[in-house]
A and B are shown apart, each in its own frame.
Chain A
């Protein structure tokens, strides 16, 4: 089973700053099957990025994804107040097995 490790666990930043979130896989992941989600308290997760770098419908262009192999990054170029949430990376591979990272909490500094 592929394990995804996200860092940092918590990221404290101010609105307007740039956020860089990391997701590292225990073995190589197909870029086609790496996604990022945002989750706010009491809400279901929302898809932000799929295929490592493609934005989902309606996602602002301040969100971008990059990476390949075992290292992936979610970048939020200029933080808006509504961006403070928990972010998860997810992969799926052979035999349709999915795994999520443990999450990064993005909090207001």
Chain B
């Protein structure tokens, strides 16, 4: 079955960038539309962006436009989310998620904790 395995926790300083990976197994990345969702400590879920298979483009939530870049390496079936100009408010668990069998996120990665602190 499909699995999403994310990279480990990161600690970054304000102003730096972070790149989180999400490796797919059980499917190839080209068969999926990968999305990224984050969750600040004690807060709710926040969609950051994802791949639109109809347009073949990545859509970003307005809040993150200009600061986030989502890419894919199909040779290794790995998706990446890079967030730049980090600030303390970006401290959160970052999840990759995808829809396999139904039109909703039925498969999630285990999450990657990103801490932004000076």
Interface residues of A (CB under 8 A from B): 1, 32-33, 35, 37, 39, 44-47, 50-51, 54, 56-57, 88, 90, 92, 95-103
Contacts and interface: CB of A to CB of B under 8 A. Distances in A.
Nearest to A99: B47
**In the complex, which of the residues A1, A47, A51, A100 has the most CB atoms of chain B within 10 Å of its own CB atom?**
A47
10 contacts: A44-B109, A44-B111, A45-B97, A45-B108, A47-B102, A50-B104, A56-B106, A98-B50, A100-B37, A101-B44
A45 B46 CA distance: 12
A88 B44 contact: yes
A34 B102 CA distance: 11
A89 B62 CA distance: 20
Contacts, number: 69
For chain B, the bracket of interface size reads: 20 to 34
Contacts of B59: 95-97
Given A44-B109, A98-B61, 13 more contacts: A1-B62, A44-B108, A45-B45, A45-B105, A45-B108, A47-B102, A50-B104, A57-B101, A95-B59, A96-B50, A96-B59, A97-B47, A100-B45
